A and B are shown apart, each in its own frame.
Chain A
Amino acid sequence: MSSAEKTHTVSEEEFMNKRPATPEPQKNSSEASDKESDMKNAHLKGDNVTISYGSEQAVKNVDIRFPTNKITAVIGPSGCGKSTLLRAFNRMNDFIPSASVEGSLIYRDMDLYGKDIDPVEVRLRIGMVFQKPNPFPKTIYKNIAWAPQINGYKGDIDELVESSLRSAALWDEVSDRLHDSALGLSGGQQQRLCIARALAMKPEVLLMDEPCSALDPVSTSHIEDLMLELKKQYTIVIVTHNMQQAARVSDYTAFMDSGVLIEFDDTGTIFTKPSVQRTEDYVSGRFG
């Protein structure tokens, strides 16, 4: 019943054609071609991705594309495998000994799980922000400067710290206490610091794993504004359990359930006229 039970690598066109339901006839052609070109322009993609913890499959045969310079939200009930899928894209599951990833995960011309690919290289290009803010127990400045320094940043580190903090809309709040401990910041500020820390490495993709779930509404709206700003430069994938958030910020939405990708479409479609009943039940709050 689901589109995701497919095998083999598929091209973009095929992928478009194999959408779970027939394309809506009332959709005008310009919208459709927008989506088509977005899909063609998706550099981060997974084909037939299966992720298991031991014998238990957390993600099953998922095909997915994340369009460049767009925000894609992954939604679904808890335990549906959305975080697991996200973490696979910068090889964070490497640290769970029982986890194994099958299928192909590609970023541009890089096979993320290729034999000669160093996970460090993957993570340099694909940054991540976590559910709970996890600043290092160091100063604000060092939190941001650390990774560029070990990566031999050629430019001026002070400038980089400032510009990263500005991009994360945190500069005005912390510019006078850069050398204080990052643990003294509020939860929302800590999370923006973590975003700034990721931005300082100038990744091309930013994966966000429920970045607002530990934050209050004001901080949440700060981060949402920030995401809309950031998508001009970055490809953003956000996992969220908050459907309003997905509707507010994302361009595309993927709905997962029990490890299976049920439906993927532009956010408007998912939230107004989804083609699968389960998606409609979920987004309208009937389960999950």
Chain B
Amino acid sequence: MSTSQATPPSEFNSALERRRFTSSLFKNCCAFLSWLCIGILGFLLVHIFSAGWEWVSFDFLKNPPSRMPHKAGLFSAFMGTIWIIVTTACIAIPMGVCSALYLEEYARKNRLNTFIEINIANLAGVPSIVYGILGLTLFVRFLKFGPSVLAGALTLTLLILPVIIIASREAIKAVPPSIRLSAYALGATQFQTVFHHVLPAALPGIMTGVILALSRAIGETAPILMVGAVAYVRKAPSGILDGFTALPIQIYNWAREAKPEFEGLAAGGIIVLLVLLFTMNSIAILIRNKTQKAQS
């Protein structure tokens, strides 16, 4: 009968103490660095709110920009952003969703379609300033739209199109194939199947993706800066061929000013921008959670 004395294998020097220590050290380092991200976000928000909170007021929202900090506001920039984003949405959403439907529902696996797919993936990685160069050359100068809402919106459309397509494709892919099969089995055409069944089922997912893409477009500065929204614009646009300024542009202009008051104005502008983005993202998350609940 063997003894019940525990005898760890002697050929090993497992050094469990040391390894346990290294392990927990490593874990804590990783944990620290993860929580550091939260610290950075906290620092950023505190910094901006403490600098800009006193500038945010009703007057700030309804005044045009001004050389005098205490009279300056971002009415024209805010309206410019609304104009731009609505125009962008009107062009980008139908195009993006239709592209996604084509790639998911209609496209056969051939060279051209594979090329389109690779192309979209690559476009998503092109820096936004390159879209700005394209917009400046093609829309502003070549098509002679000038530094207008239309030129800015078209530029942003090209920029977020890949994002919308990729998100919509994911949503369409998630629609169970059985829905399509049962529609076809009832004698529906592909058009009917797609518009009566697939699209409604994918809609919440598509909307989430679209809102996230639009909120990215709102914050994009470089492309519309390139298109020419740097000018001093006091009036809100009244048509799509009017010149415009936008929230991020106004923030950029204020941030470049040397006077410390403008620093506060920039922070105030950032607060308005962040609140806008936060609202849009909350809506997107709300839609996502609602449909997740409905599906489960």
Contact = CB atoms under 8 A, between A and B. Distances in A.
B12 A151 contact: yes
Contact of A151 (B1, B6, B14): B14
B34 to A, nearest CB: 18
B20 interface: yes
A109 B5 contact: yes
A125 B12 CA distance: 12
A202 B12 CA distance: 9
Indicate the size class of the contact surface on chain B. Answer: 10 to 19
Contact of A154 (B2, B6, B11, B16): B11
A68 B2 contact: yes
A118 B16 CA distance: 9
A91 interface: no
A155 B12 CA distance: 8
Indicate the size class of the contact surface on chain A. Answer: 20 to 34
Interface string A153-170: 111000000000000000
Nearest to A37: B1
Main SS of chain A's interface residues? loop
B4 A153 contact: no
B174 to A, nearest CB: 26
Interface string A176-189: 00000000000000
Contacts of B259: none
B25 to A, nearest CB: 15
Contacts of B126: none
Interface in B1-54: 1-2, 4-6, 8-9, 11-16, 19-20
Among A37, A121, A150, A151, find the residue whose CB has the most chain B CB atoms closer than 10 A.
A151
B19 to A, nearest CB: 7
Contacts of B9: 124-125, 201-203
Interface in A100-131: 108-110, 118, 120-121, 124-125
A40 interface: yes
B4 A152 contact: no
Contacts of B12: 124, 148, 151-154, 201-202
A41 B2 contact: yes
Contacts of A152: 12-15
A125 B8 contact: yes
Contacts of B4: 43, 108-109
A109 B6 contact: yes
Contacts of B16: 118, 120-121
A108 B8 CA distance: 11
Contacts of B6: 108-110
Given A118-B20, A155-B11, A40 B1 contact: yes
Nearest to B14: A151
Contact of B13 (A110, A121, A151): A151
Contacts of B19: 120, 150
Contacts of B2: 41, 43, 68
A37 B1 CA distance: 8
A112 B2 CA distance: 20
Contacts of A150: 19
Given A151-B14, A202-B9, A202-B12, 18 more contacts: A41-B1, A108-B4, A108-B6, A120-B20, A124-B9, A124-B12, A124-B14, A150-B19, A151-B12, A151-B13, A151-B15, A152-B13, A152-B14, A153-B11, A153-B13, A154-B12, A201-B12, A202-B11
A-B pairs with lowest CB-CB distance, top 10? A152-B13, A202-B9, A151-B14, A151-B12, A108-B6, A108-B4, A109-B6, A155-B11, A152-B15, A154-B11
